[in-house]
């Protein structure tokens, strides 16, 4: 049944927790992350579509540069973000072919100042200035309302990366790796609930 007030915009933004480290071989983590980061987006789109057709509304999918040009230590996350591009960019074609007037906006975000990256243990990132979350949120809503196919935010860094990826992909990969301090990434993170060795102890990677 349709909601009485209707629905104008569906913003798909949530993500499950992942790690910033070498892929640890945990296939079940990938399966669960795909469920949270990808399949739930598809399910919510299917459920909301009748209402969005009614309002000629907008679908906004929040992704990352890791969903266009992956860096190391984010294999599970990157896989879920690439899946979003494949699915929603294909679906957009179908909407245009069938004259379904529901827009799809894929947001390619760089590093945003949410304080989450440190919490995830991404100490390996060299100082890349984070962009403000308030401006980011406004750009996400605006790009959806303007029915743009993609949002690149911050524009300078993201457009630069995507342009370089087209012209010289090998050079972009080198540039991405040079922005990561491999020494600060500890191999084999302990399982959940296990204590992390204190900073300064052998192998703690400081």
Ligand X SMILES: CC(C)CCC[C@@H](C)[C@H]1CC[C@H]2[C@@H]3C(=O)C=C4C[C@@H](O)CC[C@]4(C)[C@H]3CC[C@]12C
Active site residues: 77
Tell me how far apart the alpha carbons of residues 96 and 87 are, in angstroms, rounded to a whole number. 15
Strand runs labelled E in 23-148 = 58-64, 103-109
Residues 141-160 within binding reach of ligand NDP (CB under 6 A): none
Q: Which of 9, 100, 157, 162 binds ligand X (CB under 6 A)?
A: 157
* Shortest Å, Cβ 93 to ligand X: 26
Quick note: the x/- pattern for ligand NDP over 9-48, rule CB under 6 A, is ----xxxx-------------------x------------
**Cα–Cα separations (whole angstroms), residue 47 to 1, 8, 29, 50, 172:** 10, 14, 26, 7, 39
The two most distant CA atoms of the chain are separated, in Å, by 61
Per CB under 6 A, does 114 bind ligand NDP?
yes
Per CB under 6 A, does 111 bind ligand NDP?
yes
Q: Which of 89, 120, 141, 145 binds ligand X (CB under 6 A)?
A: 120
Per CB under 6 A, does 140 bind ligand X?
no
- Which residue matches tokens 């204190």? 198
What are phi and psi for residue 21, nearest 5 degrees? -170, 175
| Residue 37, token pair as written in the block | 């980061």
Q: Which residues bind ligand NDP (CB under 6 A)?
A: 13-16, 36, 62, 64, 109, 111-112, 114, 116-117
């Amino acid at each position: 049944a349709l909601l009485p007030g209707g629905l104008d915009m569906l913003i798909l933004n949530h993500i499950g927790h992942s790690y910033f480290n070498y892929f640890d071989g945990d296939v079940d983590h990938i399966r669960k992350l795909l469920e949270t980061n990808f399949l739930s987006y598809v399910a919510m789109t299917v459920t909301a579509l009748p209402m969005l057709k009614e309002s000629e509304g907008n679908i906004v999918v929040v992704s990352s540069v890791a969903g266009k040009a992956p860096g190391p230590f984010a294999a599970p996350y990157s896989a879920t973000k690439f899946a979003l591009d494949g699915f929603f960019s294909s679906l957009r074609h179908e909407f245009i072919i069938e004259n379904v007037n529901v827009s799809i906006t894929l947001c390619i975000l760089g590093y945003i100042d949410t304080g989450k990256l440190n919490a995830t243990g991404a100490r390996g990132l060299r100082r890349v200035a984070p962009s403000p979350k308030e401006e980011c949120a406004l750009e996400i809503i605006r790009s959806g309302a303007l029915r743009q196919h993609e949002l690149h935010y911050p524009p300078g860094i993201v457009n630069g990366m995507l342009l370089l990826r087209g012209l010289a992909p090998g050079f972009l990969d080198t540039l991405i790796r040079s922005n990561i301090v491999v020494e600060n990434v500890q191999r084999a993170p302990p399982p959940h609930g296990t204590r992390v060795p204190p900073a300064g102890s052998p192998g703690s990677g400081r």
